[in-house]
Each structure stands twice: as structure tokens, then as C-alpha cells.
């Protein structure tokens, strides 16, 4: 499938972003690096430094900047602009050098992104964030099976055409039970 | 499995496919060159390399390595004059499988800007991140040379007792072979030399070999081998996290700066000679 460019999709939980960590995942086959700046803002970027293509997710968070591991170029939270190139410290980096940024929202304990999403992410219910369950099956195969699980709201992250991640929210006292149900569901779906 | 327009340049060139010491009696070595499965054997002390499909292939043993050419070689194996110097300690550095294209491996070897970060404490130091200007020119027989490179290195070689500013020369005479010359810490005016040979296993997989030819004073073969392995293992995770795996050589596909002069020249050269195997965006070949 190709994703709906107008929709927001959850790609991480807020809890996946402890200080200094760069989380990596994919949306519709595209690798993204997700990180929280010291300011608290969350960034979703193409997981690739524009200089020599090294994954940003193996880089370092330094305050409000992400530093690429290969040549230590630094990129600003928010704009993705390159702020510092230590190989030529006296020159201001060209404006064209920037990380490819994605739209981002943090709502309901989840991090949302999309291609050109409209409006705001629809958080289905108030609740605790469920453990993310990756399933080695296409979103279309997983979605119908989730209807059998009560007391929770699910939103699927399309990883690529063959895989998705089940993300969702539930009443806090129900999360363990639902985790177990999702694990069983994953096994059932993947062994079909 | 056969010569194609994408690999013809490499098909008719010589490539390292094993260290001479690697195949043992009764323990043949299985490998691939340009996706072609090969077996390197050592029977009664004689090394032989064969294509698994039985099609004849040229092979040679030179400089401590087994070389092969799948097609008709357009030239001899690269000449390495330093390998004759008796004042050097000469040692091969092992075989390193890397999940990266061979041109990415060569480019990383040419790269000055990563030394202070990836090889921090050895070949560079963060406080000396600035890359001083250097010169790059084309070699008359093809390839490029970068001269006048200067890098502060805390531990430039196993013979180095302290940090110093090291003079460097880089040279790429064959698309997948690159060499560097760096000022020897104890012998004034002498240059240690390292050659890197990238074996193109497939478009996105490489086996990297090094030939290390350092002034023998203050080093042992073991030190040298260990040092080079340590350095290469610092590069490996970087190489394996570069995307796309194939080296983009078309204009404006990645963002270089002045310090990347040698990498820019290497990409342009590959584009000019039409190297398509392991690259993206080469100029179309004119008939």
C-alpha cells in the first residue's frame, strides 16, 4: 500500500525518546530518525545525513542539535538546518545543507508524522500507550483482526508494504491483558 | 554472472580475492567476485582459484594476495614499487567483509574529515577538526592524487611516541584500489604506505584488504596488523550505515564541501569512466 499523504501516523511513543536517544523506524518504507531536543521538541527526520548518507540514528543528540557520527556536522532541532561543519569552522554552512524534516506532533503519548498531513492527529481515546507490536504482515491483514480486541483503540503504523506496527491506547488497568492478546494475535497472523 | 555493460570495466580488471595465506590445505575458501562464485584452494602448497561454474579465469599471486580477472585484462596488476623496499615492514592486514559498495569503501579511505571523529585518539582529535586546504589533480594514466594533506594525529602509527602533524598523500589509480602515504614518525623524509584493495563481492558487498608497508624501525608485523585492523573496524560501522549503499556519483546527489575535494574528484572520475557497478547516477556511456 501507499500511505494516505493527508493522514497523521504514529511512529513512536513519547517514552521511546529518553534524553539523548535517537529512535529509528520506517514509515511506508522510508527510514526516519526521531529524537527529542533539550528544549523538549520532537523531531522526525529522514534517517540520512545529507552530506554522506550516514544514518542520523547512529548520531548523537547534543542539546538542541543532532550530530552526525561521520563528520560531526550538527543540525538544528526544528528547521533541520546545518549549524556547524567542524572541517571548516569559520564558514557558515550553506542554507541548502539541511536534514529532511517531517511534520511532527506529540499527542496522547504518541509521536505522529505524515507526508503532508491535514489538521491535527486524531487521538482516539484517553488512555495509556500500549506496547508497540511489530507484525510481519501488511496493514490490510492486521486491521480487521484488531476488531476482536475490546477496550482499546488501535492505530497502525505502516512500516512498508509487508509490515506494520500496532500502536494504541487503552485504560491503564487493561494494558497487560491487551499486550498479551496482541502477542497472541501477532503469532496467529504471522503463522498463517 | 557474465560481463554486462554495468560491470565491464571491473570485469576486465584485476581484483584481490584472498590473502595468499588464507586458503589452507583441505580448507578451500569460498568467495565471490562481481557476483561470480569462486573457490580459492591450496593444494600441495600451490594456490589455485577457480570459478565454481567451471569457466576458465585468470589468476595470479602477488604482494601476498591472490588476484583474479574474470574477463580479459586490459592491463597488468597494479605495480606497487614500495613492496620492494627492504627498509619496510610489509604485512597484509586481513580480510574484512563490509556490507557496503566498494566505491563507498574507497571513498571513506580517501576522506580526511572523518579522522578526528571516527578515529578519535588515533588518526585525529576533535580539537583539530579543521581540514587544512590540500591539492587534488588527475593522474595522467587515470585516477586522482591528493597532495599537501596535513592532519594532527595523536597516534599516527604503532611507531609513533607522540602526536604530530602528519603529511599525507592519497592516490587512486584504479577504481577500487586506493593508497596513502604518510610521513614516518622516526625516519625523516620517509613515507609509510598503505594500499587498500576493495573486492567487489556484489554491488553492495565488499571484502576489504590492506597492504601495510611501514618503516620497520619501532614496529613489528603484529603491531602493524593489529593497528590497521583496529582502524578499519572503526570505519566498518560507518560504512554499513551509509545509504544508499551504492555510491551516488551524479551531480548534486550528496552535499560536499571544500574539504571533500578528493571525494568529489574520485566521484567525478568514476562518473567519467562510466563505472556503474556499485554506483548510482554515472553518466550514460556514449557508444
State chain A's mean pLDDT as an integer: 96
On whether both A130 and A101 belong to a single domain, the answer is no
Q: Would you say residue A133 has pLDDT above 80?
A: yes
Q: Tell me the pLDDT tens digit for each residue of A51-91.
A: 999 999 999 999 999 999 999 999 999 999 999 999 999 99
pLDDT of B250: 84
Q: Do A143 and A76 sit in the same domain of this protein?
A: no
Residues of A in CB contact (< 8 Å) with B are 31, 47-48, 50-55, 58, 69-72, 85-89, 94, 96-97
**Nearest 10 degrees: CA dihedral of A46, A51, A53, A55?**
-60
- Write out pLDDT tens, residues A90-112: 999 999 999 999 999 999 999 99
The residue among A24, A32, A49, A52 with the most chain B CBs within 10 A of its CB, best to mutate, is A52
CB-CB under 8 Å, A72 with B129 = yes
Residue B15 C-alpha, separation from nearest chain A C-alpha, in angstroms: 26
- The neighbour count for residue B20, using CB atoms within 10 Å, is 17
Q: What is the CATH number of the domain that holds A98?
A: 2.102.10.10
Please say whether the beta carbons of B275 and B146 come within 8 A: no
Residues A96 and A135 grouped into a single domain: no
Specify the pairing of strand B135-138 against strand B88-98.
unpaired
Q: Average pLDDT of A144-159?
A: 93
Q: Which domains does chain B have, with CATH numbers?
A: 8-69 (2.20.25.680), 84-280 (3.90.380.10)
Residue in chain A closest to B244 (alpha carbons) equals A53
Q: How far apart are CA A46 and CA B145, in angstroms?
A: 34
Please, what is the average pLDDT of chain B?
94
pLDDT class for B285, splitting at 50, 70, 90? low
For residue B219, is pLDDT > 70? yes
The SS3 assignment for A165 reads strand
- Residue A91 domain flag: yes
**Residue A140, number of CB atoms within 10 A of its CB:** 12
Length of chain B: 287
B130 with A58: Cβ contact below 8 A: no
Contact A112, A9 (CB under 8 A): yes
Give tens-digit pLDDT for B110-164: 999 999 999 999 999 999 999 999 999 999 999 999 999 999 999 988 888 899 8
On whether residue A13 sits in a domain, the answer given is yes
Q: How confident is the model at residue B282 (pLDDT cuts 50, 70, 90)?
A: confident
Residue of B117, B241, B254 lying closest to A72 (CB–CB)? B117
* Helix, strand or coil, per DSSP, at residue A57: helix
CB pairs under 8 A between A and B: 61
Q: Looking at residue B160, what is its pLDDT?
A: 86
Average pLDDT for A118-134: 95
- Shared domain check, A101 and A13: yes
Please state, in angstroms and rounded to a whole number, the distance separating the CA atoms of residues A25 and B121.
32
For B211-237, what is the mean pLDDT? Answer: 95
Q: Are residues A145 and A90 in the same domain?
A: no
Give the range among A110-114, A150-154, B56-60, B92-96 with minimum mean pLDDT: A150-154
Give CB contacts under 8 A, 24+ apart, made by B221-229: B221/B89, B221/B91, B223/B158, B224/B89, B224/B91, B224/B93, B224/B157, B224/B158, B225/B91, B225/B92, B225/B93, B225/B94, B226/B158, B227/B157, B227/B158, B228/B93, B228/B94, B228/B194, B229/B93, B229/B94, B229/B96
Residue B181 to residue B190: CA distance in whole angstroms: 9
Instruction: Assess contact for B176 and B10: CB atoms under 8 A.
Output: yes
Residue B287 pLDDT > 50, yes or no? no
Strand boundaries in A109-183, DSSP class E? 110-113, 128-129, 133-135, 152-160, 163-170
> Rounded CA gap, A67 and B115, in Å?
15
pTM of the model: 0.95
- For chain A, the farthest-separated pair of C-alpha atoms sits apart, in whole angstroms, at 61
- Give chain A's domain count: 2
Which DSSP category does A114 fall into?
-
pLDDT for the residue B284:
64
Considering the domain boundaries, does residue A2 fall inside one? no
| Domain of A137, in residue numbers | 124-191
Q: Hey, CA dihedral for B85, B166, B78, B100, is it positive or negative?
A: positive
Percent of chain A with pLDDT over 90: 96
- Cα separation, A108 vs A111, in Å, equals 8
Report the CATH number at residue A166: 3.30.70
Kindly state the greatest CA–CA separation across chain B: 55
Average pLDDT over residues A136-159: 94
C-beta atoms of A51 and B255 within 8 A: yes
Amino acid at each position: 500500500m501507499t500511505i494516505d499523504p493527508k493522514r497523521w501516523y504514529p511512529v513512536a511513543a513519547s517514552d521511546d525518546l529518553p534524553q539523548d536517544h535517537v529512535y529509528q523506524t520506517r514509515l511506508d518504507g522510508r527510514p526516519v530518525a526521531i529524537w527529542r531536543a533539550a528544549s523538549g521538541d520532537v523531531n522526525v527526520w529522514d534517517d540520512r545525513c545529507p552530506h554522506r548518507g550516514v544514518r542520523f540514528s547512529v548520531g548523537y543528540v547534543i542539546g538542541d542539535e543532532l550530530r552526525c557520527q561521520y563528520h560531526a556536522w550538527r543540525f538544528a532541532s526544528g528547521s533541520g538546518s546545518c549549524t556547524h561543519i567542524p572541517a571548516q569552522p569559520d564558514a557558515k554552512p550553506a542554507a541548502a545543507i539541511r536534514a529532511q524534516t517531517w511534520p511532527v506532533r506529540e499527542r496522547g503519548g504518541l509521536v505522529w508524522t505524515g507526508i503532508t498531513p491535514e489538521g491535527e492527529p486524531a487521538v482516539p481515546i484517553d488512555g495509556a500507550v500500549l506496547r508497540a507490536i511489530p507484525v510481519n504482515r501488511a496493514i490490510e491483514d492486521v486491521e480487521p483482526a484488531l476488531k476482536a480486541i475490546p477496550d482499546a483503540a488501535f492505530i497502525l503504523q505502516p512500516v512498508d508494504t509487508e509490515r506494520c506496527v500496532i500502536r494504541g491506547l487503552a485504560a491503564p488497568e487493561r494494558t497487560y491483558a491487551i499486550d498479551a492478546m496482541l502477542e497472541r494475535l501477532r503469532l496467529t497472523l504471522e503463522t498463517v | 554472472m557474465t560481463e554486462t555493460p554495468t560491470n565491464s570495466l571491473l570485469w576486465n580488471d584485476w581484483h584481490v580475492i584472498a590473502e595468499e595465506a588464507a586458503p589452507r590445505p583441505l580448507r578451500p575458501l569460498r568467495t565471490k567476485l562481481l557476483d561470480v562464485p569462486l573457490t580459492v584452494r591450496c593444494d600441495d602448497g600451490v594456490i589455485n582459484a577457480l570459478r565454481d561454474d567451471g569457466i576458465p579465469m585468470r589468476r595470479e599471486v602477488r604482494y601476498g594476495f591472490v588476484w583474479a580477472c574474470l574477463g580479459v585484462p586490459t592491463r597488468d596488476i597494479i605495480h606497487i614499487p614500495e613492496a620492494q623496499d627492504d627498509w619496510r615492514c610489509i604485512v597484509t592486514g586481513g580480510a574484512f567483509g563490509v556490507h557496503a559498495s566498494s566505491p563507498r569503501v574507497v571513498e571513506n579511505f580517501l576522506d580526511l574529515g572523518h579522522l578526528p571523529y571516527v578515529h578519535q585518539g588515533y588518526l585525529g582529535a576533535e580539537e583539530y577538526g579543521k581540514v587544512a586546504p590540500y591539492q587534488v589533480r588527475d593522474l595522467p594514466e587515470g585516477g586522482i592524487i591528493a597532495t599537501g594533506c596535513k592532519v594532527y594525529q595523536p597516534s599516527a602509527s604503532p611507531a609513533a611516541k607522540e602526536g604530530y602533524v602528519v603529511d599525507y598523500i592519497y592516490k587512486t589509480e584504479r577504481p577500487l584500489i586506493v593508497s596513502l602515504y604518510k610521513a614516518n614518525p622516526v625516519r625523516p623524509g620517509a613515507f609509510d604506505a598503505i594500499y587498500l584493495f576493495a573486492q567487489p563481492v556484489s554491488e553492495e558487498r565488499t571484502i576489504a584488504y590492506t597492504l601495510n608497508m611501514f618503516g620497520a624501525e619501532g614496529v613489528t608485523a603484529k603491531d602493524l596488523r593489529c593497528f590497521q585492523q583496529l582502524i578499519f573496524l572503526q570505519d566498518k560501522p560507518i560504512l554499513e550505515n551509509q545509504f544508499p549503499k551504492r555510491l551516488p556519483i551524479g551531480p548534486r546527489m550528496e552535499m560536499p564541501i571544500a574539504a571533500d575535494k578528493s571525494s568529489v574528484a574520485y566521484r567525478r572520475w568514476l562518473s567519467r569512466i562510466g563505472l556503474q557497478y556499485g554506483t548510482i547516477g554515472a553518466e550514460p556511456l556514449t557508444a
